[in-house]
Structure formats: structure tokens, C-alpha cells
A and B are shown apart, each in its own frame.
Chain A
Amino acid sequence: MVPAIARPQLDLELRGIRKRYGNFTAVDGVSLKVKKGQFVCLLGPSGCGKTTSLRCIAGLEEPDDGDILIGGKEVTRDPPWERDIAMMFQDFALFPHMTVAKNVAFGLEMLKKPKAVIVERVQQVLKSFEIDALANRKPGSLSGGQRQRVALARAMITEPRILLLDEPIGALDYSLRETVMLELKMLQQRTGISFIWVTHDQNEAFSLGDLVVVMNHAKIEQQGPPEEILQRPATAFVASFVQGNNVFRGKVLRAADSLLEVETPAGSFLVPGAGLALGSDVSFSVRAENLTDITGDHHLNRLTARCTAVEYFGSVRRHIFERSDGELLKYDQFGAHAARIAAGQVATLGWRPEDTVLHTGIAG
């Protein structure tokens, strides 16, 4: 982690949060530090505990164990209405019996602000979210994009310390998402409010988050800046969850010069690493774009396989090979030049040991 600069102020701190429902452990010892104004994405498959963690922060769930601090103040057992947070729900949860203006005003009314102040501030916020024309409409008559704006305006009007977002753009049309993502990122940077964004979509997490927290089976697998998660996955789960990684599992066969030779069902490969006993189980990964079909002397890791499909994404051509252990191998070729390998062809792919990442995380 980055060394701390003289007690940086934390907007949020989770210390070993645990939440159990009967025999099911939803959150198992989650610890997290969110600096002031940070954009944090909780990323993971459904049921990994990301939403429960978010609900614990909001106060909608009470953790069985652990502490929650918001702005340095312990709030673990405080009710939601006493916490300096706001939350945006996936389906927006607008109040169907109130107009847009009433929805947006709700948070200020709860703070018992004078009526004139509320009216003025609501006007201002409606205008800044470009929904002033909808002020007297009921949520039922709004489109998905309009509802999203109303929900955001309603959450932001009290200027909370932290905004919690539970799959906030999951209910939107695909074509809208990119625009909304950019707007939200700009809004977050302008206001300096910490965002905690729960998603199962890695594109959202990597393009938005300052800090990406990957969760699986109620635990945090890895947390760090997007680049770190992408380039140096800590566990086999993170590597396989993040697109574009080829994951191998095997046993250490030999160790020398900070290089390990790992025997896998798909062959033996060289992986940078040290301090591991011979025969211990390890996993490692190599990114699809680090493979090449024009192998040179430094591409010490080689694998021959049959190409089963080629997918073309515009800037990248992805080749899918079938590994001898039955798993798929992905090889990305950048640039718009013509394909060198066609489906059905057998090719030898190589990569450098230094492009290989040994998974060092404990979980998974």
C-alpha cells in the first residue's frame, strides 16, 4: 500500500466487518479504508457480499462483528438516519406518491431546514441536474434516465460525506450507461464526496474507481488501484474474474534465480517468484495481450494449441485456443492488420516469464 502522509483523514473505515444470516456468512472480515473524496468500487460476482457490505455502511444492516467509522466517528450501531451518508438504489426507489420536487426536497425536510431555504435549494439542484422541467411530475411518468437523475439529485442535495451506490446504472439502457458513468465521475471529482460504488461489471469498476476492491465468497480478494488489479492479480479468482487473463494452476517443480518452474496440466512454465517449497500448489496468470505467435528467444514459455475461434473487437483481435488441459487460452492481437491465425489452425504461442504473474494472495 501507499505510505500514509501524516494521518490522512479517512471518510470511511471498516474494521473486520462480519455479517451472518443463519448459516450463511454474507460478509466475512472485510476491512477497508476510504480516503477523503475517493472513488471506491466494490467489484465481485453476485452473492459475494458487496451489497451487504454497502448496506452495513448505510446502517440498513447491523454487522455481527467489526467496527464502522464514518469521518473518524464510530457509527457501527447508529441508525441510518444519523449517518452522514446517502444511498442510491439500483431501481432508484423514488417515492412514487411524491412529485420530483418533493422527492428531491425530502432530505432537506428531514434536516428541518426553513421552507424558503428548501425551495430555493431544490430549484438550484433540479436545475443543475437538468430536471427542473420535471419538477411537478410523479416518478411513474419518468424514463429510466430521468429517474436516475432524480435519484441522484435526491441523494446529493444534503451533500453527504459519502454516497453509497448499489449498481446505480444497472437499470439503465446500455446506450445510456457510458454517458452516465462519465457524468457521475465528473460529479464526484467536482464535489469531492466519496463514492462507494457496488458493481459486478468490471468495466465500470476499472474505468471509474480510484480504488477497486474485488470480493468473492464474503471476503476481499484484492484491493488496489485498477492498474494493479489488472496487471498484478493477487489470486487465481481475481485473475479469472478480470477479463483477459489466462490462469494456470500447478505445483512448483524447481526453483532458481528468483524463477520458479511450475508444472501444470498444460505444460511446465517459468514464473518469477521465490521462497516457495518444491511441490507447493501455486497459480499464476498471463494476460492475453502479452502472448505472441511470433516467438523469439526470450519467449521462454511456449504452448502449442489449436485455435477454436477468433473474435474481432475493432482495436483487438481475440483468439481462443483450446489448452491440452481442456481450459481456454486467450491471445489478443492489437491493431487492425489482417489476422495471422484462423480458426482451426494449430499455432505455438509464447510469452516471457517476466510477463507472468504469480498469485501471492492468501484468499481464493
Chain B
Amino acid sequence: MRIGWKQRSRVTSWVLGTLTVIFLAYQWLPIFTLGLLSFAGPTGGTTFPMNGTSFHWYEEVWKATVMNDFKPPLLRSSLLALACSLTTIVLATMAAQAMRGQFRGSGWFFYLMLLGIMAPGILVGFGFAIMMRILGVGLSWDTTTFMVQVSWTLPFGFLTMLAVFNRFDKKVEEAALTLGASRITTFRRITLPLVLPGVIGAGLFGFSLSYDEYPRSMFTTGPDATLPLAIMAQLDRQLTPEIYAVGTTTTLFSLIAVTLCTFGLWAMRRSTAVRRT
């Protein structure tokens, strides 16, 4: 039977569908494994086969023997991620806004901004640490790590905002200008509300990229470790399913946070959506 060019054949559908499922499984199974092992029995290890099932390791986390070690790094990483996120939002929006105007050297500016994505993180971190030593600046998670991480999160936010402004209708800004709004008022009342979903996206990017950043933090953090560094150190010392319980718990929290953000975005879009009549 001849099928229309817009319909997929049954075989194609199955092949593509199977590939998709395999891909998703490949991506997500490690996390499920991690989750599964966190329910191992009190004598269980960090590998299969599982040695019984229990909430033992969650109790341990709750009793906070390990968690006490993780609390300060967790706080540091959260604050750091938040700061990177906010900095990315402001700088990325400003940089993308500047790119709309096509200033002199904007091509070079574009490539220089993207350098943060291209350059290998471990080298950036190492190089930055050396430079700080030469300059005599002490390493700390809230100064040097912050700066290095922003150079990593900013290009992602920048690209996000460029894409958002690319689809942006300049006419609505011009309409505001002819209606008596100054450039600042136009930005505040018209541009910003319309690109807000993109701004939030750039912020989420900045947060998650900073939160689990390892290579750039490794050499730049100084004595007080961030969460990824602390976890890595813990893995080096002793490996119990407790660390999986910590991982599963944080993953759950992240999922809840992302879900809430997505729902918020959806609700916002719904209120400004262009409904076709």
C-alpha cells in the first residue's frame, strides 16, 4: 500500500521509537541504578548484587553523620550557583541587548564571549589559579571560583538571550518609543516582560551549570570546598550507599525545583500566549 509522503511507515515508526527509548534508557538508567542502590541493606555495598533492601542509608543521612560534612559545601554551592545565575542573567541580557545594535567589533565580541564554552574547563581553572597566585590573590569559593564559573555560565545565558532577541519583534519597542516612552521605560515595560521566559531560562542554565561544576572549581576554590568537590573527596575516602542516598535526595529536590519552574513558566506563557481565533 502506498502511503502519503507525510505519513511514516509502520517500520520507520518502530525503528525510531525503539532508538528513542534506548537512548532515554541509556541516559537515565545510571540515575535509577543510583537510586536503587541507595535502598541497599545495612551491610550493602555500592555495587550489584544488592545486599537486602532497607531505608538504612536514608536514616544515616537523616541522622546526619555524613550530611554534617556536606552541609557547609551544600550551602556554598547553592549560594555560588545563585550568584552565578543572577550575574549570568544581568550580563547575558545586557550583552545580547548590545549585540542587537551591531556595534563596532561585535563579531569579535561574540566569539570572545563563546570562548568560555570552547576552552577546556580544567585548563581554564588551572590557568586562572596560576594567574591568581601571580597576582597574589587568595583562592576562595566566593571570589575566584565565582569568577571562573561566571566565565562558564555566561556564554550559555548569552546564547539563550541571543536566540530570544532573534525572535523578538522590534516594532513593539518602536511603538512604545513613539508613544512617549524613553528607552529605559521601554525596556522595563515592554522588552523585559516579553523576554522574561528567556531570562529565567538563562538563569536556570547558570544555576545548574555552576551547581555541579567540578573542573573549574578544582584549582580555584581554596580550603572551603563546594559540593561537587566535597562529594568527590568523600568518594575517595569511603564508598557507602549513603552517598547514593544523598544523590537521590538532591536529584529529587532538583526535579521538584525544575517542575515548579516549568509550571511557573507555563502559567506565565499561558497568560501572554497568542491565541489564534
Contacts and interface: CB of A to CB of B under 8 A. Distances in A.
Contact of B177 (A79, A97, A140, A154): A79
B171 A110 contact: no
A106 B179 contact: yes
B180 A111 contact: yes
B172 interface: yes
A81 B177 contact: yes
A93 interface: yes
Identify the interface centre among A93, A107, A154: most chain B CB within 10 Å of its CB.
A93
Contact of A140 (B172, B180, B181, B273): B273
A106 B181 contact: yes
Contacts of B193: 97
Nearest to B178: A87
B179 A96 contact: no
B176 A95 contact: yes
**Chain B, interface size: which category?**
20 to 34
Contacts of A110: 179-181, 185
Given A93-B169, A94-B172, A107 B275 contact: no
B277 interface: yes
B59 interface: no
Given A81-B180, A110-B185, A60 B275 contact: no
B272 interface: yes
Contact of B182 (A79, A87, A91): A79
B174 interface: yes
A112 to B, nearest CB: 10
B194 interface: yes
A97 B179 contact: no
21 contacts: A58-B178, A60-B174, A60-B177, A79-B183, A80-B178, A81-B181, A86-B179, A87-B178, A89-B174, A93-B169, A94-B175, A96-B194, A107-B179, A110-B185, A111-B180, A138-B272, A140-B272, A140-B273, A140-B276, A141-B277, A143-B277
10 pairs of A and B residues whose beta carbons are closest in the complex: A140-B274, A110-B180, A93-B171, A93-B175, A87-B178, A80-B177, A107-B179, A97-B272, A141-B275, A81-B180
